[in-house]
Structure 1
Amino acid sequence: MNLNYEECLKACNECLEACNKCYDACLREDHVEMMVECIRLDRACADACAFAIQAMTSNSPFMKEICQLCAEICERCADECAKHDHEHCQRCAESCRKCAKACREMMM
């Protein structure tokens, strides 16, 4: 198995988990109305990572395109999470950036 493939699968799994944790934690914040966009992007990013994992493990002919889309969604989620000082948001932003980088490397 290609090293980029293995790294991308690992990064997508970690990002999916971080986004789900961030999503759940954001819902419990005191001012949840301030977290709406973060919550929305956490869900989109977790779904994109799950789709990318599925594409990679099934050797989809659209794997590169799906990884490209996943990278774009991860970057948007990272940008939004980075705006918030909550530890779960900061961890999520870091994981999203790592995943975006791994997905972009998959396309090479």
Structure 2
Amino acid sequence: METMEHRSHVDTCFDCAAACEHCATACLKEEQVQMMADCIRLCRECADFCTMCGRLTARDSQFMRQFMVLCADVCQACADECGKHDHEHCKACAEACRKCADECRHMGASA
């Protein structure tokens, strides 16, 4: 791994993935689970994207910068959806997703 910035990005990606997995699991336990369908779907997708982005960054992949841009879009979509809900797990997920989206945009642009 090249720099401390890369290490920070990997940690941010994996932290976001964990927040997304937690949110999706908690949403499945909500009384009105059908209302949470989009949130669950986006959280699962975001967790997958963040995990892959962290892995690509950790191995200093030649494709990591392009993937960071895409990951930022997915994180932003997930943050927007989670932001619609008052559940604490959704609020925490939205915050983690916004942080990851910002970092992915920054890292992806520094190519």
Q: Report the TM-score range of the alignment, normalised by the length of the smaller protein.
A: over 0.9
Q: 1:49 aligns to what?
A: 50
The Cα offsets for residues 47-97 of structure 1, whole Å up to 9 and x where unpaired, read as 000110111122211100111111100000000000000000000000000
- Checking the alignment, whether the CA contact within 8 Å between 2:27 and 2:36 is kept in structure 1 is yes
Provide TM-score, normalisation by structure 2. Answer: 0.93
| Structure 2 runs not aligned, ≥5 long | none
- Checking the alignment, whether the CA contact within 8 Å between 2:10 and 2:55 is kept in structure 1 is no
Q: Does 1:86 align with 2:87?
A: yes
Aligned partner of 2:24: which letter?
Y
| Structure 1 runs not aligned, ≥5 long | none
- Checking the alignment, whether the CA contact within 8 Å between 1:15 and 1:95 is kept in structure 2 is yes
Instruction: Give the length in aligned residue pairs.
Output: 108
Aligned partner of 2:49: which letter?
A
Provide TM-score, normalisation by structure 1. Answer: 0.96
Whole-angstrom distance in 2 between the partners of 1:101 and 1:6: 15
Secondary structure in structure 2 of the residue aligned to 1:84: coil
- Checking the alignment, whether the CA contact within 8 Å between 1:4 and 1:102 is kept in structure 2 is no
Q: 1:12 aligns to what?
A: 13
Q: How much has 1:3 moved relative to structure 2?
A: 3.3
Q: 2:61 aligns to what?
A: 60
Secondary structure in structure 2 of the residue aligned to 1:90: helix
Structure 1 range deviating more: 22-31 or 54-63: 54-63
Over the residues paired in the alignment, what is the CA RMSD in angstroms?
Answer: 0.9
Whole-angstrom distance in 1 between the partners of 2:6 and 2:60: 11
Aligned partner of 1:105: which letter?
H
Identity %: 47
